[in-house]
Amino acid sequence: MRDREYNPTDIERKWYDFWMDEHYFHADENDDVKPPYAIVIPPPNVTGVLHMGHALNNTLQDIMIRYKRMDGFNALWMPGTDHAGIATQNVVEKALAAKGTSRHDLGREAFIDEVWRWREKHGDLIINQLKRLGASCDWERIRFTMDEGLSNAVRKVFVTLYQEGLIFRSDYIVNWCPRCHSAISDLEVEHEEESGFLWHIRYPFAEGEGEIVVATTRPETMLGDTCIAVNPTDERYTSVVGKEVILPILNRKIPIIADPVVDKEFGTGAVKITPAHDLNDYELGLRHGLDVIVIMDESGIMNENAGPYQGMDRFACRTKMEEDLQEQGYLIDKTPYTVPVGKCYRCKTVIEPYLSKQWFVNTKPLAEEAIRAVKEGRTRIVPKQWEKTYYEWMYNIRDWCISRQIWWGHRIPAWYCEGCGEVIVSEEDPASCPHCESGTLRQETDVLDTWFSSGLWPFSTMGWPEQTRTLEKFYPTNVLITGFDILFFWVARMMMMGLKFMNEVPFHDVYLHALVRDEQGQKMSKSKGNIVDPIIEMDKYGADAFRFALTAFAAMGRDVRISDKRIQGYRFFINKIWNAGKFVLANIEGFDPRSVSPAEADFSLADAWILTELNKTVEAVRTALEEYRFNDAADRLYQFTWHQFCDWYIELSKPLLNTGAAPVTRWVLWHVLKSVLELLHPVIPFVTEEIWQHLPGREGKSIVTAAYPKVDADLDFPEKAREMGYIIDIITGVRSIRGETNIPPSTQLDVVLRMKSKEIEAAVDIYGFFVRDLARVRSIGFIPEGAPRPKRCALAVTAEAEVYVPLEGVIDIDKEKERLSKQMGKMEKELEGKRKKLSNPGFLQKANPEVVAEQRQIKEELEFKLERLLKARELLEG
């Protein structure tokens, strides 16, 4: 503790190891004394690396868990990772490609083994990064979504929902990613607007002259057209409904039909219908019993139904078709048009609406429960504005496509009987078909959406479907802390699954924090090169500074804008704490805090003031944490630590330490430092532990298990604190005069005070050494109220005092006059407002009497100050 600056690296490692060795983060499910408090971690991808979003998310969780742990709760933070089906498969496939092989070369089983090996090798990375951040997870309980226990939970849930008819298999238009070769859910599609074209194409009548013109943004899909649709009320077309047209190029005959969904205003009012490649078209096709023609394969390559275009990529096909249509005279017009394009959120490939057989969850009935739980307040969404978003989505929820055509994930527990075609869905692998007893069963090759298993996370991690002690004790959890971007993906699904299988909400509170962006508010991305890497930041400034920066910027419902520079700023704060610690420790060496009894101690005004301010801070910080106002908590702690404790109290303690009051002062220094460290510990765990360990009279082996400070009514002295405030005002007044009139600090000043009241004069007199020390004053004189003012003085007026600083030979009189005039100008403006307000009968009549009194007091104070300043200026004239 002698170092001039705080060096985080070694200290962080040392204490984290210590905490782990002591098992402080382990929650005991058999502890029936402490009330439980539980959080489940949003599981990061097992192949992932820590990014700023993780850092923010886990810092906030760690703050809550550490706070509650200190505050006497049996605190469980359940950690784990997610198998991240598509993402992980992509990563491993890339690695295979680098080795010149592929998953198809390996085959399914060998590939899955390969992924597990990958996970063995790289899966600890993000866990270790979380530890580096200081996350106090109960690592003894770490889970992985592909673990045996969690896989059992997945099977049980799948089978149950299937048996209840809530999971079904069906042909449907899904979002198909031609690169991932898989269906993805609606949520996994990113919508963007792109500039494209609207093509107008003629379809000639099969019989007789004439034609119908349609408008389309995707001409290549006409290869799969099975009709033209018009609105039944559209008079332009009533005569042609029922007729047939010739599909250009392929020369198939297709009918013209009428359907009310067609918008008369759009394009020509006639639309081509491609049921296999558009959701609307598919549904329309069902209504009219239309043929369905799939025109491309799983990679987006045109198939045998595409005639001359077979083998072409879908976009190449579009270009070629346009040429052909043009050449053959079918293309009438091509105009620029903004088209909505869906892209795969994993690989940004343009999604193809694609007809295929998939597994779905009928989410409507589950959503109803999830809506009710929030309506009834069983789960509270914070900040509240997200409730509306949640309801909006839940009310309009659509069937959830849960099957994925990849290999890495929970394989769907369904088997098809080769004998009779029966579908068997079962928790145990069946040996034979229960229907026809055939032994040739083929398991479904699809795996489940990763979010299917994540949806079970709050209870599957606690051992479900077993009825464990852990579940009993810690479910429902207290709060889920996560980014708003996965409100639908994850939170909503946990709500549905938790209510369905546990009959209880998974968490009482959901705190949704904002996303981390760069300084300019841009999303961080590799391509933009604006990534701030948490590990690099921690290397440079330490985990504590990094955590404090994140917390201080985590205002509710706002983006968290962060940059290297801002994190750097908070390192100064950590260093300030370090130095305050050094000062206090140096001054309480050999001191036993038990030698002072706070109940009998004779506290100085400064002691009383800092203790009272400490109480206010404790209260404010606790409230802020309870309400998830993390930035408020950080701000209060910053202000108190730096600007009250360090700037004022430590300075005030210096003169006291040379007097008979030294023992009490030492006790206060010790007590306030200890409290500050404990208050700050959830936010900055490392530096607080390091200093705390050097404190005498600490209870317990670690700050991790120390009691979180409470408001102490016995150490609350509002009266004395107020008096101290007057002294602080005087010191500030003298300093201000010195600063503004450029009197060097080396010049000792003589100060004359004229106090409003005798009592305060007495207090100031007793504690005059504070003023002498902190304002560099040689002598303090008092003159009574009514006595003539000293001449040729600079003046500062506070609420209770006039502070005269003689400036004979020290200062430019004109400058001082100017200074006073400026101050007066400001005050006059303010006073004008007050006078107006107080002469308004409406205000006096209707406003709260307390407010009126307050306003009157402010007015009088202003008048007092102004009058004194005026007199002072007059004296300078003469």
Partner RNA sequence: GGGCGGGUAGCUCAGUUGGGAGAGCGUCGGCCUUACAAGCCGAAGGUCACAGGUUCAAUCCCUGUUCCGCCUACCA
d(CA 645, CA 494): 45
- Closest distance of CB 723 from RNA, Å: 17
249/657 with CB nearer RNA: 657
The H or E element containing residue 200 is strand 189-204
- Helix, strand, coil percent values for the chain (each to nearest 5): 50, 20, 35
Between helix 534-541 and helix 8-21 the angle, nearest 10°, is 110
586/762 with CB nearer RNA: 586
237/507 with CB nearer RNA: 237
Strands 244-246 and 253-258: antiparallel
> Which residues sit opposite 173 in a β-bridge?
355
122/540 with CB nearer RNA: 540
- Closest distance of CB 644 from RNA, Å: 10
- Closest distance of CB 778 from RNA, Å: 15
Which token pair is 504?
Answer: 């209880």
- Closest distance of CB 515 from RNA, Å: 8
d(CA 54, CA 126): 10
d(CA 300, CA 297): 5
55/228 with CB nearer RNA: 228
Q: Is the link from the previous residue into 465 a cis peptide, with omega within 30 of 0? A: yes
595/840 with CB nearer RNA: 840
- Closest distance of CB 648 from RNA, Å: 7
Where do the DSSP E strands lie in 756-867? Answer: 777-782, 793-797, 801-806
CA nearest to 479, candidates 505, 453, 501, 441: 505
C-beta of residue 447 within 8 angstroms of C-beta of residue 407: yes
Rounded alpha-carbon distances, angstroms, from residue 728 to 139, 147, 744, 765: 49, 62, 20, 13
40/734 with CB nearer RNA: 734
d(CA 630, CA 383): 12
419/569 with CB nearer RNA: 569
Question: What are the residues whose beta carbons fall under 8 Å from the beta carbon of 469, sequence distance 6 or more?
Answer: 29, 30
93/188 with CB nearer RNA: 188
24/843 with CB nearer RNA: 843
- Closest distance of CB 65 from RNA, Å: 22
- Closest distance of CB 3 from RNA, Å: 9
60/127 with CB nearer RNA: 60
3-class DSSP state of 780: strand
Backbone angles phi, psi at 779, to 5 degrees: -140, 150
- Closest distance of CB 825 from RNA, Å: 10
d(CA 637, CA 634): 5
Rounded alpha-carbon distances, angstroms, from residue 288 to 172, 228, 292: 16, 12, 11
647/719 with CB nearer RNA: 647
116/843 with CB nearer RNA: 843
- Closest distance of CB 197 from RNA, Å: 11
31/830 with CB nearer RNA: 830
- Closest distance of CB 502 from RNA, Å: 27
d(CA 499, CA 480): 15
> Which residues sit opposite 137 in a β-bridge?
none
- Closest distance of CB 268 from RNA, Å: 7
Between helix 124-133 and helix 52-70 the angle, nearest 10°, is 60
- Closest distance of CB 814 from RNA, Å: 17
Which token pair is 167?
Answer: 């999971």
d(CA 750, CA 153): 80
Structure-token match 């008369």, residue found: 264
596/774 with CB nearer RNA: 774
Question: What are the residues whose beta carbons fall under 8 Å from the beta carbon of 495, sequence distance 6 or more?
Answer: 370, 373, 374, 379, 505, 506
Structure-token match 């839940």, residue found: 394
In our burial notation (b when 16+ CB lie closer than 10 A, e otherwise), range 94-111 reads eebeeeeeebeeeeeeeb
C-beta of residue 856 within 8 angstroms of C-beta of residue 837: no
Q: Is the dihedral of CA 250, 252, 256, 261 positive or negative?
A: negative
d(CA 268, CA 266): 6
- Closest distance of CB 340 from RNA, Å: 5
Q: How far apart are the first and last CA of the chain?
A: 58
3-class DSSP state of 427: coil
206/858 with CB nearer RNA: 858
- Closest distance of CB 786 from RNA, Å: 24
d(CA 310, CA 306): 5
72/557 with CB nearer RNA: 557
Q: Tell me the residue type at 427.
A: E
Query: Count of H helices and E strands in the chain?
Result: 29, 29
- Closest distance of CB 602 from RNA, Å: 24
- Closest distance of CB 711 from RNA, Å: 19
- Closest distance of CB 265 from RNA, Å: 7
- Closest distance of CB 580 from RNA, Å: 4
Strands 74-78 and 403-404: unpaired
> Which residues sit opposite 78 in a β-bridge?
40
149/569 with CB nearer RNA: 569
d(CA 687, CA 734): 36
